[in-house]
Amino acid sequence: MSDLVTLEVRGAIGVLHIDNPPVNALSSGVVQGLQCVVAAIEGDTRLKAIVVHAHGRTFVAGGDISEFSRPGFTARPFNETLARLERLSIPVVAALHGTTLGGGLELAMACHYRIAAAGTKLGLPEVLLGILPGSLGTQRLPRLVGVRMALDMILSGKPIAAQKALEAGLVDAVVEAADNDALLNEAMAYANRLVEQGQGARRTSERQVSLEGVEPDFFDKALAEAKTRKAAYPAPQRIVRCVQAAATLPFDQGEALEAQLFEACRTSPESGALRHLFFAERAATKIPGVPADVAPRPIRKVGVLGAGTMGGGIAMNFANVGIPVTIVETSQAALDRGLGIVRKNYEASAAKGKLRPDDPDKRMALLTGALDIAAVADCDLVIEAVFENMDLKMDVARRLGQVCKPGAIIASNTSTLDIDMLAEASGRPADFLGMHFFSPANVMRLLEIVRGAKTAPDVLGTIVKLARTIAKVPVVSGVCYGFIGNRMLEPYLREADFLLMEGVTPERIDRAIQSLGLPMGPCRMLDLAGLDVAAKVVIERDKAGGLPDDPSYRSVVRKMMDLGRFGQKTGAGYYRYEGRTPLHDPEVDRVCAELAQQHGIRRRADEVTDQEIIERCVYPLINEGVKILEEGIAYRPGDIDLVWINGYGFPDFRGGPMHMADAIGLAHIAERLDHYARERGDAHGYWTRAALLTDMIAQGRKFADWPFK
C-alpha cells in the first residue's frame, strides 16, 4: 500500500486517508493507492462503514493536471475504482473541506454520503481547462442536484459554497469543524450513526435524474448557446451532450459518452493551451532570487498619485479588498472628477447586481482624497500614476523618496520609461519598482511588475503576493523599453502601419488578426486606446533616439494625430464612427496612399493575403518575445504568454504567442521571417531572427521544454 492512500481501522469504521500535498491531486500514485485500499476494504468483513478523508488544507482538488498530457493517460483506472467504491454494500461517507473540485467532487459523489466543513467550496472547474468532468461528474451531478443546476455548475466551472450544496442535495450535512481532525471526528460520528440506524449504501448512479421544471427545448437551447458563444472552446457543447445523456440514457451509456468526449477534449490543442496557462500562472509567482518564504512587508494603506483614469482604476483594486487608499491630485477639480468616476463605476456595478447595494458607499469610504503629496507619508505602498513624461515622473520619484516613510514601497505605473532611472531619482532604489497596470486598471487582470537593478527581493515578493490579493496575474519583467508587453506590441503595430500604406484596409487587417480569436485587430485597438496617445509614444521614443532610422516608421499613426483623428473618442481614426460602430473611411485610404507615395512604398493590396497579414504582424511579435527571453527580461516563455492573455486580449485557447509559436513550428516561423527579410529588405533589422530562435531550432527545442538544461 502506498503512503499516499492508506486504510486505518478504527473499530468498525475504516478511514481511507488521502495524503498527497499540496492539494491531494489524483496523481497516478493516488489512483493506485485508492485501488489497493478499495480492494482491501472489499475483503475486510470487520468494517461496517467507511470514511474518506484527505489530509492538509483541502480535500482532493481534482485530477493531477500535470499528468493529462502524458502519453497513455486515461481516466479509466480512477473511474473503475470509483465504481467499486460505490458498489460497496457498507455506507461510505466523504468528509469534505477546502476546495473539493473536479475529480475530488467526483470521488465525493461516488461515496454514498457527504458531509462538508463550513467554508468548503465544491465545483467542477474542468471547463476552465478546456475539458469536461471525466470521472462521471456529468452523470452523477445531475442525479444529485438536477440538470439545470448541474449544467450551470459544469458550464461555468464556478464552485458553490457548502451551504448551497446542502440546500441542493449535493451534501448531506454541513458541520462546524475547528480543524481537519475535528472534521474527521464529525465524519466518524456520522458514519457510526448510519451504522446504528442500519443505513446501507446509497448509490448516486442508481438515482433517476429529475426533469421537473425542465422545458422540452432546454438542451437544444443550451447547445445553441454553447455553439454561438463558446464556439472556439472544445468543452461546452460536449458538456451539454453529456448532461443530456445523463437525463435521457441509462448510466452506462452516459458513462461511455462522457469517456469518449473527455478524451476528445483532453487531446485538443485548446485544452493543451489552457492547461499550459494554468501552470504558467503558478510558475510566474516564483521569482529567481526571491526565496519562496520571503517575509512580505505589510501593506495596510496605499497611496496613489493621480486620480485620472489610471489612478482611479488602480485605487479601486485596493478598496475592493478593504485596503484604504489616499489619492493625491494637484487640483480639487481633478480630484472630484476622478473620485466621481470611481463612484460611478461602483454604482454601475451595483446596478448590474455585481456588488451589493451598500458596497459603493463602503468602498468609497476607503478612498481619501488629498492635494498634498505629504498625505502619503503614512502609506506602506505608494504608486505614482501621473502623466507619462520622464521629467515629471523623475520629479515625482524624487519627492516620494523624501515624503514616504522608511520601508515604504514606491512604485511607478509607467508603461515604457526607465525604472532604474526613476529608482535612482527616488534615492531608495531598493524600495522601488514598476507596477504597470493595464487599462481599465480595475478590470484587466495583468500586473506587469518591473524589477529594477536594485529592487530588494522582499519588495518584489511583497508586490507579487499583493497582486494575487487584488486578483491580478503578476508577471515580473526586467527593465527595457516597453517591458514585455509593449515592447512586443511595437513590431506588431509597425507592420500594421506598413500594411496600411501598402493599401490594405484597416478592416482587412483587423479581420485577419481577429480570425485568430483576438477581440480586436490593431486598428480597432488603437482607435479605442487613442491614436493621439499611440502617436505620442512613438514621438517620445523618437526624441529619445529609440527609433530606427526609417522616416516611414509608423508614419500613419503620426499622420492621424496631426489630422486630429484620435480614434473613437473623436469619431474618426482608422475608421469613422457612428456611435461605437466602426465604418470604412475613404479619407484613410487617401491619407495612406499619400504617405505611401511620400515614402516610396509600393501599393500591393491585391497581393496581400490574410496569411501574410497574420505572419507579418504576429511573427515579429513572437521574434521580439524570443529576444526578451534571450536578454533575461522575462524569466519564462509562460510569463510572456500570461502578459498577452491577460493584458492584450490574446485568446487563451491559443495559450499565448510563445505557446502558439510551438504549435506553428519554430522552423516555419524562422523561415517566414527570412522570407520577409528577402522580400522587404532588412536594413533596419525588422526581420532579423533572435539568436535564441536559431539555437532552439538547431537543437530541436520548443518553448514547452523551458528551462533549457
- Residues lying near ligand 3H9 in the complex (CB under 6 A): 22-23, 25-26, 61-66, 75, 78, 99, 101-103, 106, 125-126, 129, 133-135, 137, 279, 282
CA distances 204 to 114, 143, 691, Å, are 11, 7, 58
Catalytic residue among 86, 126, 388, 448: 126
Catalytic residue among 42, 67, 86, 106: 106
Nearest approach in angstroms of CB 153 to ligand 3H9 is 13
Place of cell 421544471: 213
Which is nearer to ligand 3H9, 64 or 495 (by Cβ)?
64
Nearest approach in angstroms of CB 473 to ligand 3H9 is 12
Which is nearer to ligand 3H9, 26 or 247 (by Cβ)?
26
Q: Which stretches of 515-654 are DSSP H helices?
A: 522-529, 531-543, 555-562, 586-599, 610-630, 637-647
Which is nearer to ligand 3H9, 160 or 304 (by Cβ)?
160
Catalytic-residue membership of 126: yes
CA distances 682 to 673, 677, 678, Å, are 10, 5, 7
Which is nearer to ligand 3H9, 110 or 591 (by Cβ)?
110
Residue 121 has, within 13 A of its CA and on its CB side, a CA count of 15
Cell of 147: 440538470
Nearest approach in angstroms of CB 81 to ligand 3H9 is 11
Cell of 524: 480597432
699-705 long-range contacts, CB within 8 A, separation 24+ = 702/662, 702/666, 703/637, 703/658, 703/659, 703/661, 703/662, 704/276, 704/637, 704/659, 704/662
Catalytic-residue membership of 448: no
Which is nearer to ligand 3H9, 279 or 387 (by Cβ)?
279
Which is nearer to ligand 3H9, 19 or 589 (by Cβ)?
19
Nearest approach in angstroms of CB 445 to ligand 3H9 is 15
Which is nearer to ligand 3H9, 87 or 282 (by Cβ)?
282
Residue 607 burial class via C-beta count within 10 angstroms: exposed 0-12, middle 13-18, buried 19 and up: exposed
Which is nearer to ligand 3H9, 66 or 597 (by Cβ)?
66
Nearest approach in angstroms of CB 62 to ligand 3H9 is 3
d(CA 278, CA 131): 13
Angle at Cα 665 formed by Cα 661 and Cα 668, nearest 5°? 110
d(CA 461, CA 459): 5
Nearest approach in angstroms of CB 98 to ligand 3H9 is 8
Determine the 3-state secondary structure of 672 from DSSP. helix
What is the C-alpha R_g of the chain? Answer: 29
How would you classify the pairing of strands 49-54 and 5-10?
unpaired
Q: Which residues of 223-235 are buried (b: 16+ CB within 10 A; e: fewer)?
A: beebeeebeebbb
d(CA 535, CA 559): 9
CA distances 441 to 27, 43, 270, 272, Å, are 38, 60, 28, 29
Nearest approach in angstroms of CB 279 to ligand 3H9 is 6
Place of cell 491559443: 654
Which is nearer to ligand 3H9, 128 or 489 (by Cβ)?
128
Tell me which H or E stretch contains 570: none
Nearest approach in angstroms of CB 106 to ligand 3H9 is 6
Nearest approach in angstroms of CB 149 to ligand 3H9 is 18
Nearest approach in angstroms of CB 146 to ligand 3H9 is 20
CA distances 61 to 86, 96, 107, 250, 634, Å, are 20, 11, 10, 28, 30
Which is nearer to ligand 3H9, 74 or 611 (by Cβ)?
74
Contact assessment for residue 136 and residue 111, using Cβ atoms and an 8 Å cutoff:
no
Cell of 668: 516555419
Paired residues of 92 in beta bridges = 50
Place of cell 498619485: 305
Which is nearer to ligand 3H9, 25 or 52 (by Cβ)?
25
**What SS3 string covers 135-202?**
CCHHHHHHHHHCHHHHHHHHHHCCCEEHHHHHHHCCCCEEECCCCHHHHHHHHHHHHHHHHHCCCCCC
Place of cell 504617405: 595
Nearest approach in angstroms of CB 114 to ligand 3H9 is 17
Cell of 679: 522580400
Q: What residues are labeled active site? A: 106, 126
